[in-house]
Amino acid sequence: MLADIRRFFAERSVLEVETPLLSHGIGTDPQLEFFTTEYRLPPLQQTLFLQTSPEFAMKRLLAAGSGSIYQICKAFRNGESGRFHNPEFTMLEWYRVGFKLPQLMDEVADLIGGVFNGHRSLQTTQRFSYQEIFLSFTGLDPLAFSYQDYCAFALDNQLPEAVDICGHDHAIWLDFIFSHKVQPHLGENTLCMVYGYPACQSSLARINEHNSLVTDRVELFINGIELGNGFYELADAQEQVRRFDEELSIREQRKLPVTVKDRHLIAALESGLPECSGIAIGLDRLLMLLSDSPAIDDVLGFPIDRA
């Protein structure tokens, strides 16, 4: 699988890069937990973070003029373990300079099709807007939040816990309902791409130029398993700072561990990020699908309980 991926990018002259897994900054996403460690170089002591994604460092390379790049590396997310999760996992992330989201989606289809070729056949790739697919399975409009309607849907569908978990937070409601009532039906023996996510869910994607209620974000699914998440990348430094501040405020309200804005990323955006689109794919999950394995532990040499 790794050889197929590297061949794919070599044929397209996309450069393989390597960035730090241990860094001074980390993302602000309130949905993610991270690992920290103390770096001691007497008389100094600093807190460093294991990266949940190589995204920020790769964008610094893009701003420095690297051109299109990709990376295969380990990523780390605290508190994640289960059938599809291990706190240490393998990620493929790439950025294509000059690509908008539809071009990136075309390349994703080519990559996934090439990786599966010779192992198992996939049906024709599917593409749906988030609004379209959410409406079809729930009858709810994801772009027009109604607390009463969402509560009624949860109670009618035997999901009463959603009322307490989600409160009046539109983004959490969407995540909860999508994961329970939409995602399990996506990509039956095919690659399904869902694009045009509501603006409240995309901290690193651009607002769509034709519809300010959605962002240029795509997620990938095969047999109900989420494989990847991609954006037409936000390049506006001031808007990125605003979104980071908003997420930091949410983290504070939820009493989550403190994090800080990545000043290196902001500086890179200020210097000028080229027009680009990027995506990250979980390679352990992809290997699960290629090998018909029921759980991520089956494709890891040493899952967390044996690490």
CA angle 32, 68, 75 (to 5 degrees): 25
Average pLDDT over residues 221-227: 97
Give the pLDDT of residue 104.
98
CB under 8 Å to 51, separation ≥6 — which residues?
A: 20, 21, 22, 23, 26, 57, 75, 76
Higher pLDDT, 200 or 260: 200
Instruction: Give mean pLDDT, residues 109-135.
Output: 93
CATH of 2-306, one of 1.10.10.10, 3.30.420.130, 3.40.50.740, 3.30.930.10: 3.30.930.10
Q: Is the pLDDT of residue 302 over 90?
A: yes
Residue 261 has pLDDT above 90, yes or no: no
Q: Flag whether pLDDT at 118 surpasses 80.
A: no
Residues facing residue 279 across a β-bridge: 94, 230
User: Measured on CA atoms in the order 214, 218, 219, 221, is the torsion positive or negative?
Assistant: positive
What pLDDT is recorded for position 273? Answer: 96
pLDDT at 264 over 80: yes
**How large is the average pLDDT for residues 88-114?**
97
pLDDT of residue 9: 98
What is the pTM (predicted TM-score) of this model? 0.94
Whether residue 119 has pLDDT greater than 80: no
User: Which helix H or strand E contains 271, and what residues bound it?
Assistant: helix 263-272
* Confidence at residue 65, expressed as pLDDT on a 0 to 100 scale: 97
pLDDT band with cut points at 50, 70 and 90 for residue 154: very high
Name the band, by pLDDT with cuts 50, 70 and 90, for residue 249: very high
On the question of pLDDT at 270 being above 90, the answer is yes
Query: Is residue 29 helix, strand or coil?
Result: coil
The whole-number pLDDT of residue 203 equals 76
| CA atoms within a 13 Å half-sphere pointing along the CA-CB vector of 225 | 23
- Residues 174-189 have a mean pLDDT of 97
Of all residues in the chain, the percent with pLDDT exceeding 90 is 89
Beta pairing partners, 93: 71, 280
User: Residue 201 has what pLDDT?
Assistant: 87
Cα angle vertex 96, ends 231, 87, to 5°? 55
- Dump pLDDT digits (tens) for 15-36: 999 999 999 989 899 889 999 9
Domains in the chain: boundaries:
2-306
